[in-house]
Amino acid sequence: MHALPMATLVPPPLEDREIRELQAEVRELAQARDAVILAHNYQLPEVQDVADFVGDSLGLSLQAARTQASTIAFCGVHFMAETAAILSPAKTVLIPDPDAGCSLAESISAEQLAAWKEQHPDALVVMYVNTSAEVKALSDYCCTSSNAVGVVRQILAERGPDTEILFGPDMFLGAYVERQLGRSLHIWDGECHVHAGIRPADITATRAAHPDAEFLIHPECGCSTSAMEYVAAGDISPDGVHMLSTGGMLDYAAHATPGSSAIVATEVGMLYPLRKTAPKVEFIPANAEASCRFMKMITLPKLRDALRDGVYEVSVPAATADAARLAIERMVAIS
C-alpha cells in the first residue's frame, strides 16, 4: 500500500463523554449565534454528527447559498468557506481553523492562471471549486467533481463543439472529463496530494483481496485514469466501477444491496457517512492512509471556540467576490 506522508497528523481522539459535552455546547452556541453548521463528508465523525448539513462541495455550496441563518460555521477547508462567503456576502462565515488549506487549491495561483489564459486568449476557463477566490475571479465556470462533465458538456452545447477549454487544476478529474466527453481539453497538471496518492497498485492489491467488491472511485484519485483504462481494456466490468463525487458515493450507499461490498477510493473520512448510510454494506478503503490533514484540522473544541468567539471570519474583497460569483453561480445552476 502506498504510504502517504500526511496520515499521521490527525488530532488525538476525544473521549465519548467529551464529545457529548462539546456537541451540546456547540448546538447551544449555534442557536445563540443564529448559525448553521455545514460539514464536508471528510470531516471527523463527531463534527459531522453535530452539523446541520453534511455533504459534498456542491451540496454545501447550495446550502450556503440558500440558508436563512445569519452565520455559517463552515467545517471544511478554506476554499469552501470562501465559496460560501462569495455566495452569501451578507452573512458571517466562520471557519474553526483558518489554516485548513488544500494542496489542490495551492497548485494554481491567479498569476499562473492569468499567464495560461494569455497563451490561449480564445479559451473558456473551467476551474474546479478547489481553488482560491482570486483564481475563481479569473474563471468563466467553476465545477465540482459531481458536475464537471455536465459543466463542460453544457459549454460545448452552448458555445459549439470546438470551443477551446482550459480545465484545472486537477489533472485526474480533467482526464476523466476528457474520457467521458471524448474530446481533449487543456489540462493543468495540479493534483490533491491525498487522492493522487491512491495509486493503481492500491486498486490492484485491494481488488485481489476483495474480488467481488464494486469500486467507488473519486475522479481526483491517482488510480482513476488506470481504472478507466482497465474498463476500456475489458479487464473490469464497467458495471462495477463508479466514478463518483463524495455525494454520489452516498447516493450509491443509499441504494446498495445489503451484504454487498465496495472498495472506496477517496479520503478515508468518507467511510463514516457511508457506513452510517448503509450499515449492512462492507466499505473497504482502497488506501487506509489517505487522510487529509487539512480536513482533520477542524475539531469539536475549535468549532466550539469559533461559535463562542466569532472566529475566524472568512471574507473576500468585494471586487474579487463579484468577479468570482458568476463562475460559482454557473456551477450551482448545473447541479
Cα separation, 120 vs 43, whole angstroms:
38
Q: Which long-range contacts (CB under 8 A, 24 or more apart) does 326-329 make?
A: 327/127, 327/136, 327/137, 327/139, 327/140, 327/141, 327/142, 328/61, 328/83, 328/86, 328/87, 328/129, 328/136, 328/142, 329/87
Q: 10 Å Cβ neighbour count for 235?
A: 11
Stretch that binds ligand SF4, among 110-118, 245-253, 273-281, 287-295 (CB under 6 A): 287-295
User: H or E stretch including 241?
Assistant: strand 241-243
| Shortest distance in whole angstroms from residue 95 CB to ligand 13P | 14
- Cβ(105)–Cβ(131) under 8 Å? yes
- Cβ(213)–Cβ(284) under 8 Å? yes
User: By C-alpha distance, which of 128, 135, 145, 123 is closest to 55?
Assistant: 145
| Shortest distance in whole angstroms from residue 313 CB to ligand 13P | 21
User: H or E stretch including 215?
Assistant: strand 214-217
Q: Who contacts 203 (Cβ-Cβ below 8 Å, separation ≥6)? A: 215, 223, 226, 227, 263, 265, 286
**Between 246 and 299, whose beta carbon lies closer to ligand 13P?**
246
| Shortest distance in whole angstroms from residue 295 CB to ligand SF4 | 5
Q: What 3-state DSSP class applies to 72?
A: strand
Among 292, 307, 321, 331, binds ligand SF4 (CB under 6 A): 292
**Binding at 224: pick from ligand 13P, ligand SF4, none (beta carbon under 5-8 Å per type):** none
**Binding at 214: pick from ligand 13P, ligand SF4, none (beta carbon under 5-8 Å per type):** none
| Shortest distance in whole angstroms from residue 9 CB to ligand SF4 | 12
**Binding at 57: pick from ligand SF4, ligand 13P, none (beta carbon under 5-8 Å per type):** ligand 13P
Residue 267 lies near ligand SF4 (rule: CB under 6 A): yes
Residue 173 lies near ligand SF4 (rule: CB under 6 A): no
**Binding at 103: pick from ligand SF4, ligand 13P, none (beta carbon under 5-8 Å per type):** ligand SF4
Residue 194 lies near ligand SF4 (rule: CB under 6 A): yes
| Shortest distance in whole angstroms from residue 244 CB to ligand SF4 | 15
Tell me which residues in 44-83 interact with ligand SF4 (CB under 6 A). Answer: 77
Q: Does a cis peptide bond (omega within 30 degrees of 0) precede residue 312?
A: yes
Among 217, 294, 296, 324, binds ligand SF4 (CB under 6 A): 294
| Shortest distance in whole angstroms from residue 58 CB to ligand 13P | 6
- Cβ(245)–Cβ(220) under 8 Å? no
* Positions that interact with ligand 13P (CB under 6 A): 41, 56-58, 130, 144-146, 192, 220, 245-246
Q: Which three cell numbers stand for residue 218?
A: 473519486
**Contacting residues toward ligand SF4, per CB under 6 A:** 77, 102-104, 130, 192, 194-195, 267, 292, 294-295
